[in-house]
Structure 1
Amino acid sequence: MEWGKKAYQLMKRLKTAFDADNILNPDVIITENGNLFVENIKAMLPTDGIIDKCIECGYCEVN
């Protein structure tokens, strides 16, 4: 939804062209699994009020 249907279809075609066996990062960004966002959820143990809000977006990693 972020890129739009045309761009997503183009990305799927490129992924298939360069990785026909789907061995490079399978189901990371391009996937047919509509439930992937609720599968394999990582449980995080509580540590501190500030850290517990982390969603692991990667924004702070460069800092």
Structure 2
Amino acid sequence: MRKRNAVNDSCLTCVRCGNKNTIFRNAGYKKSDGHIKDIWCFKCKDKTPHEEQKNDYGLWSEQ
């Protein structure tokens, strides 16, 4: 039987354009709020720094 790992979702906000992306991390590898991760931003069309925010469900809510 396959072992299932618990995961947490994190919201990453692009520092350049403000676009929000969601990533999933294993529960044992949580990062603190404000952690910077360089990933591809599909709006900027470039690899840009993204700031991590926990439990930010603004991605699905109306703003």
TM-score (norm 2): 0.23
Greater relative contact order (Cα < 8 A, sep 6+): 2
**Which structure shows the higher strand fraction?**
2
Q: Is the radius of gyration larger for structure 1 or structure 2?
A: 1
After TM superposition, the score normalised by the length of structure 1 is 0.23
Higher helix share: 1
